[in-house]
Structure 1
């Protein structure tokens, strides 16, 4: 059989024998979709839509149509287009295709949105996800509701079979529902749970991108302590479902630490900003569509506590879709109807009969009339006289009549009738979702620093080597790509050789070829004085090659400088500047001299002035002697420690001493040693001891040993 349709925009040829579709069109596929997309969605399966698409691009040879189902769908589509172009509207609006089947099981069902036979599959999803969108806590439930919205007609012998129940708590037995009858305005409900471990991706994917450094497109997620930052928040919505998402409402809650919240850009919908709460509403997001909202706010981190970015709450409805994937496999039912065969004997030809079949829908529900077999005599005979396959929707209160057929019979003919029909339901799927995207924490980068010298005080005008240690460290994890030290060597100090500067990162010494060190200005290592200060400039790139990512960081600079003619009563600091650059690129981290704790070197003018005296007095008895030792600190500095020693001949013994001292035997007598701590300027120390012996006492010299 060969079918042909002629339209104002082109011709359609369908060779049913050769199963070839050829489209000669003056309009493009896109224009065809614009005109007839609603019909394509109703009458064509996805596979048939692909065939139609290929046909528009193969006008000469045409496209093979392998399946009978696709042939039937194509015929129905172009019949309907023909009716519309000729001003003959279809009887009812049909919202899905239907594949013929004897039992209607296993096929996508034809539905009618006007039907009072309603089937609802409604799911509610309440998910709390981490900032990356991975569900942490969720509550997912669903309800199947079968409802008779007619005010007067019953439905009986209902059979509903569900598919896609794998992700639900429903069993195979639960999925096969049989109801003897459903009264007018009656309903039947089944509740179920959704298994969240098998369903991880919400239909509407929500992504939040945060950039704390708006001068580059690369995303940066860190702040610098005490440095104001403009932060951009981009919320991206992507519909990953098989249908449109509607009634979308996104609420972004900013913490109070963010100020001046504003809209940067918006792809779709409207927003309302009230203090730190932003509400974004979009009526509908079509399948595979993506919309973005970019917001901006300012923050000044005053502590190193992590900065919370604020929660996102999303509400939306997915119509004609479910989260679990549950669907309707088949739905049958019956209500009031009547059918008959009209038998009219011809006026001028007795015993010649003109007959036709009439089906009348007497209910308030649309019915699908699929197949009629007219049998000779009654239903028990196997002799088929006529067969009709109308596959037509008969609206409530309407009737369908077949073509006439003729037969000869002396008696009024009787027929058996086998009629296949069923009620057409209205299927409504809906997903009501509430998704909470939890905030993430952004780190606040902070470095601290200190510079220490091996000596806190040095005497004036002396040549003294001093070790300098300059250390900076991060408070928490940080990733940097490079850094610069600018460390000043004070005037009156000789700088180190640049090759002797040492660098440590996290207690590991860095090879000299990995960093650059130089001293500015140039200097003469043999000069007699250094009236100006010098700067050690140390730079290191490619820090990630020697430091593990995401770890705290400690950087230490060591070198030796030498005091040359340091002047009395001076303090030498040697300020330091530190700069670091983050990964990815972000604001510069900087420690200025005021941020680095530096203990200065004090220069003291020390000139030692001391007096020591020894006096001998007769004792209270014969052969006794009292010895008095005095020490006076006449200088201007504390003497930390002084050792005073005296000795007595071997023929004498010690009777008493004040203060106590330590004694030791020597070759020709005994030695007494006193250690005196912390002698203040102008302080006089007296030591008294008494000895007794035989013979003449000859006083020795008193030894004075300094340990200042």
Structure 2
């Protein structure tokens, strides 16, 4: 009877929100199991090698393993995995298109979100029973798997878990799971419970670890038989292997000595299947001996066993970093209350703190001003630097009531000047432009651009003015309404768990849309010009429905290349429509124009109509 090896391979690695891999440690359990119900196995040697870097030496001698028991050896090594795991969060349910976050993720409103988890099998063999666990915050609502496998939801104390089982993913294929839910944006970032765990099994080992065991066996034996031939002093020695065990064996070498002299020695490395009492490997040698020969034997073998495995690949993200626009606003007045009839200097303070994860590039504020308060100046401060701010008030047009006498006077004046009859046209009434009515609440607008308001920073708006009537209470003032815009359009995160050679790594990426565009003017003949417009996609996502507008002013459009670009002429502008430009690709549009004289050169502009 021989022992059996059960191999558990576990790969754990973590990454933070900025793609920095924190740990890439592989660990495992190597169990040597005695499958017998009544026999103790003795003198078992355990050895294991790995093509990658073995962090723990796996070499041991096991004195004995009782019937039905096992011996456990822990190990650490670098596991080279060929599974690629990709997770995408989106606001639609097809799991393919990633829309702009600023357009789709509505601030402070519960909304539908979809998560896609894609598993790609790059092994040369199928993986089976793939278990996928996705963790969500406890207040996630309407959690359901929408395709293609039905998920089972479990509610824990601090989180919800939805679990799927994919029966099989064949070699070089991938399968995806999509789950939908209703979630508040505050749960998207920091998305601490955004853990994904994968578990899978395979008939073949997922790592390069090659364990082996050797030891005594009561049912594997090398048998010998000697017979004297018709020639005096000559003997034939027959030998063969009896393998009555339930395991295949690898016969490594055999040495036969007769009367102290080596007559047979071979490095065989021959695999022999499990069988019964019959001799399954036979050899014969001729020996000279005056008496019955003294035969000694020496052979060595390994048991060839089926390794039972349960391989686990898991990864956990400390923070899924999704760019979310979020601000906190406070409004106060100094002094907070006015109780005198005299004009009182008044300062209003609006403090806007970036509590999200996106850098804010522009902020628009609509502020409701209390009655009898006037502000003449706004100062914006950010991190000890002044910020340019546009301060404006919505103008109002107020119709002044006109008395009957004034209306008749205006009518007769028109008739005296040869105007139309009174019945044909109503006279224009005098109006009064009124930009300031301090007896009622008014709307002030402040706009600050090119802020670079980083997460955690605050923008302070100081409103300088005066209160013109007593009994002003700043605590009862209406709050300011804030619109914040990201400095650069971003898309939801794409988290990838990948293995490349021996070193696993985790990528938490922000896909951004960016491009380079220029206009190059060339004179190719008298009154003939060529405008070359190269557009390079320098971002991480494809640019769809790209419209380039090139002003030509005093020139006339003739033709263009390539023909795949649609061109329309609108006045002094040539509009070129490109369906898609993939990341790193460059599309070059060449316009042929003609002009009576020197052409006016101006840079083309670009618009993405997605």
TM (normalized to structure 2)?
0.50
Larger RCO of the pair (alpha carbons < 8 Å, separation 6+):
2
Larger Rg: 1
Q: Larger % of strand: which?
A: 2
Q: Larger % of helix: which?
A: 1
